[in-house]
Each structure stands twice: as structure tokens, then as C-alpha cells.
Amino acid sequence: MYRFAPSPTGDMHIGNLRAAIFNYICSLQDKSGFILRIEDTDTARNISGKGEEIKEILKQFGIKWDKLYIQSENLKFHRELASKLLNDKKAFCCFCSEEELATKKAAAKKAGVAYRYDGTCEKLSDLEVLNCEKPFVIRMKKPNRILKFNDLIKGEIGFEPENIDSFVIMRVDKTPTYNFACAVDDMLEGVTCVIRGEDHVSNTPKQNWIRECLGYTEEISYAHLPIILNEEGKKMSKRENSSSVKWLLQSGYLPEAIANYLILLGNKTPCEVFTLDEAVKWFDISKISKNPAKFDINKLAFLNREHIKRADSARLVEIFGLDESFSELIKFYTQEASLVSEIKEKIKSIFSKKEIPAEFAENVKILKDEILKIKELPENFENFKEILTKATNLKGKNFFMPLRVLLTGANHGPELKELYPLLRLQIKRIVNL
């Protein structure tokens, strides 16, 4: 069983989507099932509507989940299991205030050492705990041995007890911290493999330790994906437009192209252009590079063009909102445009009233009048050109540039002889707009 567990705290970024795609692919390969879990327990950072937005984005990418969980709905289980850890002496109540902890952290920083919880409250007796009226959190007792796990990408990773420390699992308001909620939910939901970003590497031993202390013996395997770098080779910021899946979609990049690119990133694939369904046949999570992958918007643009060219008429109607008779024209414009928005604009320019530059106005009118006189437009552009040049006596740039403006609304563009067959049946309507 695989899961994707985003938080509704902002726009979905490409790192998150990459993890979702990889988990989904692997779930299809072994037919174990795929869970979508909205991790909404951080109420201070949650943004209204982001949960629904996540689901809509996943649907656009063809990602289907077998089960949907809202993490906050599991709160009663989080509290029950935290209580079990207290009863089993695997966790303890900590009454240290934020001010007290801040003072200790400042002292550690001044001394040039990493702060570690000093175990003050772990030593309290049951009676001292019962008699204490101060607010408290619940902390795990740190392990007494190195905690190791095997990462499907990075190999064996180990953590010393000091680096795990006595971390908090329940806040003062009795809500679970990320690691506790995540560990418990993965256990309750029967998750067997987790693929996520490498920023979660340090969370894995904590989550394993929680489940071990709860007596859970089923193994969960992990794969931590290297970070995605921007075009300057720096860690991609969430503030960069290209890191936002929503921005990419709104800019005119197709879901199939984005998925293709994210699977391709840092991976050895048998081909360059493919669909998610095709990737299921050969994808291997262990072949993902250990090194960070650099995001290349130009590569994504190339893949976008290729997927537009590969799309059938029904898909093009869905994407562009145009009649299927425009399919070949859409694909034609991939030679000079990569984004849906760019191609839409070029087609709109053809089928809209033209703003004719003054320098072309006279010749445009001459050409328009003669085109409208032709009873049946020839199939071949050369014949069309011959008829017009004979009737207008226009040649060279005095012919071609006004004709291009008249037909496309642009001064420059693809070869008219290639464009003509795609517009022939509608040319009279086009010039008469």
C-alpha cells in the first residue's frame, strides 16, 4: 500500500507532485492500492480550499486513489495511542515552557553545541506529574541504540540516539505533531512503502521508533527523492513560479507533459516522451539518481509540444476548447509555440478582426477583394498564389507580407504554403472578418 500525504498549507509544488506520481505508479505496478491522506492537523497553517485543490490537481494528472483520509478525523486514535505510550513508559509528559526551552537553546547556541533536550521532565515521578498544574506536551523517550533503515534510493541510513532526541509527539492543545500523526496513520492504514522528498529523511527514524514503541512489527520501506534545483543550480524555492503545479497548468503546460518531465528528472528511462500509463510498464524507483536534479523549463516546453502533437482530436478539444476540425492547425503551430496559451493566441489571431498596419493596408485590401472573387479556392498554395499575383500584380514582400497579415494577423510566422491547406476551407471567412 502506497500513500500521498500533502498538507493543505499552500500551492502544490512539483516536488510534492513528483512524489505523488511515483507512489501512484508503484501502487499500480504491485496492485497494492493508493491512499490520499490530507494532513490537516497543523490548523494554524491550513488554507481553506487547498484540500479540494489538491484533489482536483491529482485528477487532472489521472491519479486515482482507492481511499481518502482526512488526518484530523483520526485524532481520537492519535490520543489513544499517545496515552498507550505514556502508560507503557515509552513517552512522558513535559512541562517545560517555551520560555524555558528558548533559554536552554540560546545557551547551547552560545556554547557552540547542538541543543538536545536535557531530560528534565522525564525524571519526574508519577505523583509529581499528577500534582503539576502547568500545561504539558508529550515527548517520546529517545532510543538507546542507533536506528537504521534501508532507503530504496540512498541505501542504508543510520541515526544516533542523540540525533533523534526526546521529540514532541503531542502538543499542549492535545493535537499530534507531524511525526506522530504520520507514524500512526501509516500504521493504521497499512502503508507498506513511502516515497517522499529527502527533506523527510530525518523524520523516518522518528516515525519508525514511534511504531516500534507501539508494538507494530510490519516493515515499511522508504525511498527519499533528491531535491529539485532551479536553473541556477540552487534549491528550488516555493516562491518560484515554476515550482508551483498550479502556475504551470495555468501557464499552458499539459498534465501529461509535466508528469513526463518529473518522471524523466534524475532517471534513466527507455525513451524520452511517454505517458504515465506507459511509465508503469518500466518504472523502477531504485534507478532514481541519488543526486539533485536540475529543473529545465525549456525541456518541459519541448515535452509539452510533443504531447500536443501526440494528442488525439478528443484530447485537443478538451485542452483547447475548439472544434476537432482545428486539430491539425493546433499541431501545426507546435513548430513555433510550446504552450497551450500561446497556440490559442495564434489561432485566435487568425479568426479575429485584424489590426492592419498602415504600411500594409492598401495591399491587404487588394488581396482581400481578389480572394473573395475566387469561386473555389485551389487545394494547392502555388495555384492560389498564381491566381492572386496575376489578379493583383503584387510580388515578393509586397505580396507575402500583406497576405500573412490578412490571414494570420501577424507579420511573421510559418510558411504560408504549409499553413494554407489547413485554412483553405475557411479563408473567405477569415479575410472577411
How high is the pLDDT of residue 397?
A: 93
**In a domain? residue 326:** no
pLDDT the model gives residue 239: 73
Residue 129 confidence (pLDDT) above 90? yes
| Residues 385 and 414 grouped into a single domain | yes
Give backbone dihedrals phi and psi of 145, rounded to 5 degrees, phi first.
-150, 165
Confidence (pLDDT) at 236: 83
How many folded domains does the chain comprise?
A: 3
Residue 121 contacts residue 96 (beta carbons within 8 Å): yes
pTM of the model: 0.92
Residues 188 and 255 in one domain: yes
256 and 166 together in one domain: no
Given this model, what pLDDT does residue 8 score? 93
Q: Which residue's entry shows cell 505514556?
A: 86
- Domain with residue 383: its CATH number is 1.10.10.350
Q: Does 238 have pLDDT greater than 80?
A: no
Q: Within this chain, do residues 206 and 150 fall inside the same structural domain, yes or no?
A: no
> In terms of domains, do 150 and 245 share one?
no
pLDDT digit string, tens, across residues 63-97:
999 999 999 999 999 999 999 999 999 999 999 99
What's the pLDDT tens digit per position in 287-340?
999 999 999 999 999 999 999 999 999 999 999 999 999 999 999 999 999 999
Residue of 237, 303, 249, 309 lying closest to 276 (CA atoms): 303
Residue 160 reports pLDDT greater than 90: yes
Q: Can you tell me the mean pLDDT for 344-356? A: 94
- Rounded-to-integer distance, Cα 163 and Cα 207, Å: 14
pLDDT in tens, 15-53: 999 999 999 999 999 999 999 999 998 888 899 999 999
Same domain as 403, residue 267: no
User: Residue 232's pLDDT is what?
Assistant: 85
Q: Is 205 exposed, middle or buried (0-12, 13-18, 19+ CB in 10 A)?
A: buried
The CATH number for 189's domain is: 3.40.50.620
Domain ranges, residue 110: 76-170
Q: Is the predicted pLDDT of residue 422 greater than 80, yes or no?
A: yes
- Asked whether the predicted pLDDT for residue 237 surpasses 80, the reply is no
- Read off the CATH number of the domain in which 130 is found: 3.90.800.10
Q: What is the DSSP letter of 405?
A: H
Does one domain contain both 275 and 166?
no
pLDDT at 421: 96
Domain end point (choices 138, 170, 202) = 170
| Predicted local confidence at residue 240, as pLDDT | 78
Q: What is the mean pLDDT of residues 212-225?
A: 97
- Kindly indicate the confidence band of residue 169, based on its pLDDT and cuts at 50, 70 and 90: very high
Average confidence (pLDDT) over 267-280 = 96
Q: Which three cell numbers stand for residue 426?
A: 475557411
